[in-house]
Amino acid sequence: MVFALKNVVAVAALLNVLSVQAVPFVLEERASNSGCNADNLLRLLRAPSNLPEAIPFCSAYLALPALTTTVSTVTPTATSYTTLQTNETSRFTENPTVPLTLKTTETSVIVSTVTITVPPQGGARLARRAKTTTSLADKVTGTTYPPSRISSACNCLTIPISTTSVTATADEVTETVTVLSTSSTSLTVTITSTETILETAIDTVYSTATSTEVGEPTAFPLKIVAPGTADDGAYVFNRNENPNNNGPGASQSFPLTTDPTKATKFTHSADGALRIAVSSSYFTSSVVGQESSDWVHFNHPTVAFEPLYSNKRASIQGCSSCIVVKWQNNPVTGLVSMSNVEKVLSVCNLPNGYGRGLYVGTSTAAANACVVVTLQLALTP
């Protein structure tokens, strides 16, 4: 009896233990080492259909900073221009004038328009009802999930860091560019060409062209070319070199005047000499009426600095220390220069109160106030 009671107690105790172990337990998913639980929110974000929208959403939600990378450096360049002024004189510039007459024909075209009305083919179909979709951001940021769970789930995504490329600006560098500026003086010869075009049914074109060539004038003044000086643009006239020698054989010097009507006119002889064709009437001591005696320029080669003189060719040829000055003419610019005298041409103060005048050679004396110049044939004084 005692043995039976003990067995009953043991069986009861065993049944009690078995009843306790039969109670079911709620199992929880173990968190991974990174702390990311695949809950409903994370699964929603990781879904392949939502991932393209989830990555930029989480990047903005977590306020991830962008990586700034300098991809290039720009060096600003400031250009400084230096202008070198030169003067160039052109004798002839062609300036064509082409009047053009056209006769046109107008054609009227009448177009007939026929309007055809087509009735509608059956009734209009009803538009389908648009499908309404909810964005991922609205699904996540609504009242469904608290901010802490959104941050935790977004942290479990692999979000690439955006890169911002910038261009760095270096210190400014100054580059100096020298520009050659040419000032041109042109003497214009106009060539007029006239063309008349008539449109007819057989497309016949009639053309008439005329041209006029202007040759070198028979006599012309000489003009001073000395840019930037008070002598630039002045004209040359002749008068006796010595106020006490007014005879018919007195040599002539060449002062300057700003009045082109008082300028001496020259012709270019076949041997290169400049011959007085029309003497200046500025002073009675000039050679007015003696032009036929062939008055040309002369120089003493052994004298380094003296005024430019003119006398009768026969008298110059009788002087053993004198030579006739020869001149060469540039047909494009009209500039003339001495071809047989290796000296510069200057404008200096003349003696006897004659003012400024032409010299062969130059001087550095302050009293002379010399300026090296060039002569030009003044075709239009």
Residue-wise pLDDT tens digits, 105-124: 454 444 455 555 545 444 44
List the beta bridge partners of residue 180: 84
Q: Cβ(76)–Cβ(169) under 8 Å?
A: yes
- The pLDDT tens digits of the residues spanning 56-66 come to 888 888 888 76
Question: Taking residues 303-319, what's their average pLDDT?
Answer: 95
Residues 6+ apart with CB under 8 A from 194: 98, 99, 208, 209, 210
User: Does 69 reside within a domain?
Assistant: no
Q: Cβ(325)–Cβ(310) under 8 Å?
A: no
Could you give the CA distance from residue 58 to residue 64 in angstroms, rounded to a whole number? 9
Residue with tokens 């449109």: 199
Could you give the CA distance from residue 380 to residue 69 in angstroms, rounded to a whole number? 71
User: Does 323 reside within a domain?
Assistant: yes
Token digits of residue 348? 């200096």
What pLDDT, on the 0 to 100 scale, is given for residue 380?
59
User: Does 271 reside within a domain?
Assistant: yes
User: Does 173 reside within a domain?
Assistant: no
Burial of 232 (0-12, 13-18, 19+ CB in 10 A): middle
Task: List Cα–Cα distances, 225 to 219, 290, 374, in angstroms.
Answer: 19, 29, 5
User: Does 172 reside within a domain?
Assistant: no
Token digits of residue 73? 């450096």
Nearest-5° Cα angle at 107, 106 to 109: 145
Q: DSSP string of 153-209?
A: HHHTS--PPPEEEEEEE---EEEEEEEEEEEEEEEEE--B--EE----TT-------
Could you give the CA distance from residue 324 to residue 269 in angstroms, rounded to a whole number? 12
Q: Which of 219, 194, 218, 217 is nearest to 207 (CA)?
A: 194
C-beta neighbour count of 256 within 10 angstroms: 22
Question: Taking residues 122-135, what's their average pLDDT?
Answer: 55
> Domain tally for the chain?
1
Could you give the CA distance from residue 54 to residue 159 in angstroms, rounded to a whole number? 9
Q: Cβ(309)–Cβ(253) under 8 Å?
A: yes
Q: Any idea what the CATH number is for the domain that residue 242 is in? A: 2.80.10
User: Does 162 reside within a domain?
Assistant: no
Task: List Cα–Cα distances, 114 to 45, 111, 301, in angstroms.
Answer: 63, 10, 101
SS3 266: strand
Token digits of residue 118? 């087509």
Q: What are the phi and psi torsion angles at 9 (to 5°)?
A: -60, -45
Range of the domain at 311: 222-377
Burial of 336 (0-12, 13-18, 19+ CB in 10 A): buried
User: Does 362 reside within a domain?
Assistant: yes
What pLDDT, on the 0 to 100 scale, is given for residue 179?
64
Question: Taking residues 253-262, what's their average pLDDT?
Answer: 94
User: Does 183 reside within a domain?
Assistant: no
Task: Tell me, yes or no, if the pTM score tops 0.75.
Answer: no
Q: How confident is the model at residue 193 (pLDDT cuts 50, 70, 90)?
A: low
Token digits of residue 322? 């004198």
What pLDDT, on the 0 to 100 scale, is given for residue 319?
93
Q: How confident is the model at residue 41 (pLDDT cuts 50, 70, 90)?
A: confident
